[in-house]
C-alpha cells in the first residue's frame, strides 16, 4: 500500500534532518517523503544525503493546516501519514500504522507517542468531544482497535502520528486553515466522525516526540505565547460546540490555561508578569479567532506528481550493541560503522547505578538507550532491581523488540 509521509517544518532545520534520517530506516516497502518547509528547512534537506529522494515543497507561512494541505496536494500515495519535524519514528512505524487500512471502512489511524525520555508515553488512546474535552481510553497494549465514537465525540489522533486515506481526507478539504496552530488534528477527527468514517488506534505504531522550541513554546514546554491557542479554541467551539455552551467552555479553558501557567511559575519557568501577558494574549487570540471565516472547505485536487519512492531500509538488519558507559567512545564508533553499512542500530549503554533509562535517536542515525544497570526503564518498575549485565540486555531487547524489529 503506497504511503506519502508528510513532514511540515518551520525554523527547525536540524530537527527536520534528524526526522528524515529516521524515516530512512523505516522497514516499509513503498513510501515517499514530502517535506513542506521554510527556506532553511528546504536547504537543509536538499543538501543532506537523502535530499534527492525527497519531494521538497517551499512553504513559509506560519499555518500548519495550510502547510499540511500543501503536502496532501503533492501526495501520490493512497495513504497520507503525518509526523512532526521534532519527532522520529520507530523503524516499524509505518508497518503497524497502515495495517488497519486493509479494512475498507477504516479511513484514519493513529499511533502512540513517546515523551522526551523515550520511555514514558506522552499520548496514548483518547476521544475528544465537541467541547474539546479529551478522555483516555483503556486499550490492549499491542493490538490495533477500530472504534466507533459516541455522538458528538471523535476518536482522537495526534498530529505527530496519524494517517488517513488520501481520497477521504482530500474530499473533505483536508485541514482547515482557520486552525493555524493547535486543534487542527482534533477538527479533522470531529469532521470524520460526523461523516461516520472509522478510526483505528494502533498502539505499536510509535514515534518519539522531542518537543523542540517553536513560536508558541520553549523546548521545556513552557509557553511563550497563547494567542494562536486562543484563536483555535474560538474556531473549534464555533464549528463544533453548541452555542449555548460556548461561554461556559471558554471560561473552563481560560481557567485551565491559567492553572497551567501558574504551575510553570511555581517551578520557576515563568514570572508573574508573564502569566498576565499570556492570559491577555489568550483572550486576544480568542477574540481574533471569532472573526475567522468558518466556510466549507473545497476538496483538494488529485495529485499530478509521480510517486517518488523513498530509499527505505525494508530489509535492514536490526541489532543491539551493548556495553558499559565508560566504553562509550568505542561503542559509538561501532554503532556509526554499522549504520553506514545499512543496519538499524540500538546502542545500549549502562552504568552500575540505579539511574532511570532514557532513549533517543542520535543525529548520526542510531538509537541510544542509557541508564543504570539496576535502574528503571519502564517507569512503573521498582526503583532498584538486581541484574547481571547480560540478563539486563536480554530484558531490554525483549521490551523493545516489536518496535525496533529485533
The contacts of residue 71 (CB under 8 Å, 6+ apart) are: 4, 6, 7, 8, 34, 36, 57, 80
- pLDDT tens figures, 74-86: 999 999 999 999 9
What pLDDT is stored for residue 212 in this prediction? 63
Who's near 42: CB < 8 A, 6+ residues apart? 35, 56, 57, 58
Distances (CA, A) of 184 to 106, 229, 350, 364: 20, 11, 41, 32
Name the pTM for this structure: 0.95
Helix (H, G, I), strand (E, B) or coil at 347: strand
pLDDT tens digit sequence for 89-107:
999 999 999 999 999 999 9
Please tell me what DSSP assigns to residue 354. Answer: -
Domain-wise residue ranges, the chain:
3-209, 227-290, 318-404
The pLDDT assigned to 219 comes to: 67
> Residue 80 phi/psi, 5° resolution?
-115, 125
Cell of 351: 552504568
Contact status, residue 69 vs residue 177, Cβ threshold 8 Å: yes
CATH superfamily of the 3-209 domain: Spore Coat Polysaccharide Biosynthesis Protein SpsA; Chain A (3.90.550.10)
Point out the residues of the chain with pLDDT beneath 70: 211-217, 219-220, 312
Q: Name which of 81, 85, 127, 132 is nearest 108 in CA terms.
A: 81
Amino acid at each position: 500500500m503506497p504511503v506519502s509521509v508528510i513532514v511540515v517544518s518551520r525554523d527547525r532545520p536540524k530537527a527536520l534532518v534528524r526526522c528524515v534520517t529516521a524515516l530512512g530506516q523505516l522497514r516499509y516497502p513503498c513510501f515517499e517523503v514530502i517535506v513542506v518547509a521554510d527556506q532553511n528547512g528546504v536547504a537543509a534537506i536538499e543538501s543532506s544525503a537523502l535530499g534527492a529522494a525527497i519531494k521538497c515543497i517551499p512553504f513559509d507561512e506560519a499555518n500548519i493546516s495550510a502547510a499540511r494541505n500543501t503536502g496532501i496536494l503533492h501526495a501520490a500515495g493512497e495513504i497520507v501519514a503525518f509526523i512532526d519535524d521534532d519527532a522520529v519514528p520507530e523503524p516499524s512505524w509505518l508497518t503497524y500504522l497502515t495495517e488497519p487500512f486493509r479494512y475498507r471502512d477504516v479511513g484514519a489511524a493513529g499511533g502512540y507517542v513517546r515523551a522526551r525520555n523515550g520511555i514514558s508515553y506522552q499520548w496514548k488512546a483518547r476521544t475528544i468531544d465537541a467541547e474539546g474535552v479529551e478522555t483516555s481510553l483503556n486499550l490492549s497494549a499491542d493490538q490495533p482497535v477500530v472504534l466507533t465514537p459516541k455522538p458528538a465525540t471523535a476518536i482522537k489522533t495526534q498530529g505527530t502520528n496519524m494517517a488517513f486515506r488520501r481520497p477521504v481526507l482530500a474530499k473533505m478539504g483536508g485541514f482547515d486553515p482557520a486552525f493555524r496552530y493547535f486543534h487542527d488534528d482534533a477538527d479533522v477527527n470531529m469532521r470524520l466522525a460526523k461523516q461516520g468514517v472509522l478510526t483505528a488506534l494502533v498502539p505499536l505504531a510509535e514515534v518519539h516526540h522531542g518537543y523542540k522550541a517553536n513560536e508558541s513554546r520553549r523546548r521545556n514546554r513552557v509557553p511563550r505565547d497563547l494567542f494562536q491557542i486562543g484563536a483555535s479554541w474560538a474556531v473549534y467551539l464555533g464549528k463544533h460546540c453548541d452555542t449555548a455552551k460556548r461561554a461556559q467552555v471558554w471560561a473552563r479553558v481560560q481557567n485551565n490555561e491559567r492553572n497551567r501557567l501558574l504551575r510553570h511559575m511555581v517551578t520557576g519557568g515563568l514570572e508573574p508578569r508573564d502569566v498576565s501577558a499570556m492570559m491577555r494574549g489568550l483572550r486576544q487570540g480568542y477574540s481574533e479567532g471569532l472573526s475567522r471565516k468558518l466556510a466549507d472547505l473545497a476538496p483538494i485536487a488529485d495529485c499530478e506528481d509521480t510517486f517518488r519512492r523513498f530509499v527505505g531500509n525494508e530489509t535492514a538488519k536490526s541489532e543491539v550493541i551493548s556495553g558499559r558507559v565508560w566504553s562509550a567512545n568505542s561503542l559509538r564508533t561501532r554503532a556509526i560503522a554499522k549504520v553506514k553499512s545499512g543496519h538499524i542500530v540500538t546502542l545500549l549503554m549502562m552504568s552500575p547505578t540505579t539511574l532511570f533509562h532514557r532513549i533517543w535517536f542520535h543525529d548520526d542515525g542510531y538509537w541510544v538507550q542509557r541508564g543504570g544497570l539496576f535502574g528503571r526503564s519502564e517507569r512503573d518498575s521498582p526503583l532498584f532491581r538486581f541484574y547481571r549485565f547480560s540478563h539486563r540486555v536480554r530484558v531490554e531487547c525483549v521490551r523493545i523488540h516489536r518496535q525496533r524489529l529485533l
